[in-house]
Chain A
Amino acid sequence: MKRAGVYAAAAVLAVLVLAALAPELFTAQDPLAVDSGGTLRPPSAGHPLGTDENGRDVLARIVHGTRTSLLLGFGAVAVALVFGGLLGLAAGLGNRLVEGVVMRLSDVGMAFPELLLALVVITVAGGGTSNAVLAIGVAGIPNYARLVRAQTLAIRRSGYVEAAHALGLSAPRVILRHVLPNAVKPVLVLATVGVGTALVAGSALSFLGLGTPPPEPEWGSMLSTARNFISRAWWYGVFPGAAITLTVISVTVVGRALRLRSEGRAW
């Protein structure tokens, strides 16, 4: 039963990635085609998930929004992982001074809620999709720096690294060939669960009108407009959010299974 859930979640993720790469496979309709005669129509055969305030097909907008929404989640984690990873690696491998500086900086970073830190970046850099990715990514750096440092320290003290040193291998060689490859996998596994959180934070920025601007389809920004029509068009507010929730659930389920497997526990 549990395994079936994990496979179902992985299948949902595969469909989402496919929709991000080739949205035309899932809908024939244009997500930007305005139809002033058919605004806010309930779900029907022609529009399975109804239409929005400009008569655009909600299903088409959700399908075409997949790319941007996934980009917000995966892109932000990638930013946090690269910068946090470099800092964490430096802290784990460097001397006490480097470690102290990185850890105290991350102490300061952890004192700010991630969404608030992201809002500071938006205030300075302005809104838009790429700035939203950057903002959520920057907010996640302290967390990933800690994660990578802990991982690096664990590997550095392991038997095979000591053995490599004892064999007379140079420090850069030990780092590149032994520490790095072994640190990457568990960190990537932990980062998978983080994609869900980043996606929610990114679409929250769009919902607040600070992320992806209209008319480009994106789940959070669709909800931002839908909130003005709750009393008249339930489908408009319900389906884009269901897409976010389904994506986050799938990412979390797959991420948890990967983590349990990498820890050698049953999943």
Chain B
Amino acid sequence: MTTLRFIGWRLLAGAGVLWGAATLTFLVVHFTPGDPAEAVVGGEGAAPTPEVLAQVRAEYGLDLPWYQQYAAHLWRIVRGDFGTSYRLHTPVTQAIGEQAAATVELALAGAATGLTLAVAVALATARRRRWLRGLASAAELVAASTPTFWLGIVLLTVFSFGLRLFPATGGQGPASLVLPALCLALPIAGVLGHVLRESLEEVLDEPFIVSARARGLGDAAVRVRHALRHAMTPLVTMTGYWVGALLGGAVVTETLFTRQGIGRLLVSAVNAKDLPVVLGVVLLSALVYVVVNLVVDLLYLAIDPRLKEAA
């Protein structure tokens, strides 16, 4: 029963955040200077007749009082209707849907690469000789401080134009995914590696590690089979960081490598002041954040029975 209540609370909190996000997008649309009806018809240069504007206002409910518009706004979002792009004249969900696969591919490749690098470095250097730890910590600092867009330029300079190993633009088979994924992954690996190494060094002091060693387990087995699992928990709870780093990184990486994807769709929408698309992507990122958070919480509940009693 308590577990059910806990899940219920988390669902309610998630729905609350999404409601807040939807309200925010409504406020943005309403407090943006300029007539939304004119934006729908095609921006400043279109010079529509008053009749056309009136028709658009009636069609989009722009002549209704604000609370009716607000209710209609929420209802549309609940049904999965994020409006129509000013620029593309297609539904926002369709515009995002067409680009989603490319971004998911990039984000998964980047996340997997970043995590693998962080785990490898942390396992190899935690509680090792001082110079080795110093080296790892310096590498993490540099990786975490390097802006994605510069890292991409350096990777292109060396591997694409210097050594001619990988293509410079996206969408040309698996080889064209290597540099963008690496570009997305290295700063993430720096941040995660730092967190993971500190938590691994703490876990290696725990009594259960001593008992594992006393049973005659080798150092590598202790690290990989016993310590790593415990040390990974802080990485899983950094939900906001993951979503932000992958989506924010995708915006820059896709632009730099001229790849298809939601990030590039977003940048061109910002340039064209295509508000529905911008808000659609932002709402989608909030949805991803809420869902991932929820899944992580439920996984914890399944993995760690102590939490059930606490809840």
Contacts and interface: CB of A to CB of B under 8 A. Distances in A.
B248 to A, nearest CB: 4
B302 interface: no
Contacts, number: 146
B84 interface: no
Interface in B218-263: 240, 243-244, 247-248, 251-252, 255-256
A67 B266 CA distance: 29
Contacts of A237: 150, 153-154, 156-157
Contact of B149 (A1, A122, A220): A220
B150 A113 contact: no
A234 B153 CA distance: 9
A209 interface: yes
B281 interface: yes
Interface residues of A, number: 44
A113 B275 contact: no
A261 interface: no
Contacts of A116: 247-248, 251, 266, 281-282, 285
A200 B249 CA distance: 11
Nearest to A256: B141
Contact of B279 (A1, A110, A120, A242): A120
A107 B150 contact: no
Given A116-B251, A234-B157, A249-B145, 12 more contacts: A111-B286, A112-B289, A113-B243, A113-B247, A114-B248, A123-B275, A123-B278, A200-B147, A204-B147, A208-B255, A241-B149, A245-B147
Interface of B: 13, 16-18, 20-21, 24, 28, 31-32, 134, 141-142, 144-151, 153-154, 156-157, 160-162, 168, 240, 243-244, 247-248, 251-252, 255-256, 266-267, 269-271, 273-275, 278-279, 281-282, 285-286, 289-290
23 contacts: A104-B20, A107-B20, A108-B286, A112-B21, A113-B240, A116-B248, A116-B251, A124-B31, A204-B149, A208-B251, A209-B271, A210-B270, A230-B160, A231-B161, A234-B157, A234-B162, A237-B153, A238-B157, A241-B150, A241-B151, A241-B154, A244-B150, A245-B147
The 10 closest A-B pairs by CB, nearest first: A241-B150, A108-B20, A113-B244, A115-B248, A248-B145, A111-B286, A237-B153, A231-B161, A249-B145, A207-B149
